[in-house]
Amino acid sequence: MQDPTKYLAKMLKTLRKEHGLSLDGAATKTGISKAMLGQIERGESSPTTATLWKIATGFNTSISSLTEPIPEGAEETLIRDADEVRQLARGDGTMVAPLFPYEQRFGFEYMELTFLAGFERLSEAHEPGVVEYITVISGSMEVFVDDIWHDLQPGKSIRFRGDKPHGYRNKTDEDTVTLSVIHYPRRP
């Protein structure tokens, strides 16, 4: 498997060049400091999921397209093993297995998302039109939307607008495994 930090470094530089931006310009667009963006582009820093989201939102792209190439053989039937692609998100309290990374033609990414015991994060709104789906497979968790924490047990699913503030927490002492889809709006 390739090093996600290196892939992110390359992708960030590519996106920034495509948008014709300096590091200063990219800092304004994403809300991430110029120093941090420089570190990421040099492969010296592997950012938290919150930082990845800011970059994805700033550049109107998906989160998995920053960290994962489209799997080989994507034109054909695709079989993916979460055990082979699962990664601990740095300093973050989640594990992410990008089962089906974002592809523009489909408009979504599909992943196994594990919220480690004690995890809690409030997320800023993502780009307008983003919708999130979560199904709990094992353990339990709560999702904060519309000013309420919604309790989710195995087999329960929630769909909510990712373009409004929202949050995730696992107050139990066991890890919670979920399947999650993030759907992005169509872009011209």
Site string for Mn ion, 70-109 (x = CB under 5 A): ----------------------------------------
Site string for Mn ion, 115-134 (x = CB under 5 A): --------x-----------
Contact 178, 114 (CB under 8 A): yes
- Residue closer to Mn ion (CB basis): 21 or 152: 152
Shortest CB 57 distance to Mn ion, Å: 10
Shortest CB 99 distance to Mn ion, Å: 17
Question: Which range in 21-29, 63-71, 146-154, 157-165 contacts Mn ion by CB under 5 A?
Answer: 157-165
Shortest CB 155 distance to Mn ion, Å: 21
Shortest CB 7 distance to Mn ion, Å: 21
> Strands, DSSP E only, in 6-145?
87-88, 94-103, 108-115, 120-123, 131-138, 141-145
Nearest one of 60, 8, 7, 4 to 30, comparing CA atoms = 60
Shortest CB 166 distance to Mn ion, Å: 6
Residue in the shown chain whose Cβ atom is closest to Mn ion: 123
Between CA 88 and CA 115 the distance in angstroms is 10
Question: Which range in 1-9, 19-27, 86-94, 154-162 contacts Mn ion by CB under 5 A?
Answer: 154-162
The yes or no reply on residue 140 touching Mn ion (CB under 5 A) is no
Nearest one of 90, 61, 48, 66 to 12, comparing CA atoms = 66
Alpha helix stretches (DSSP H) within 19-155: 23-30, 34-41, 49-58, 64-67, 82-85
Q: Give, for 158, the enclosing helix (H) or strand (E).
A: strand 157-161
Question: How many other CB atoms are there within 10 angstroms of residue 159's CB atom?
Answer: 13
Binding site for Mn ion (CB under 5 A): 123, 162
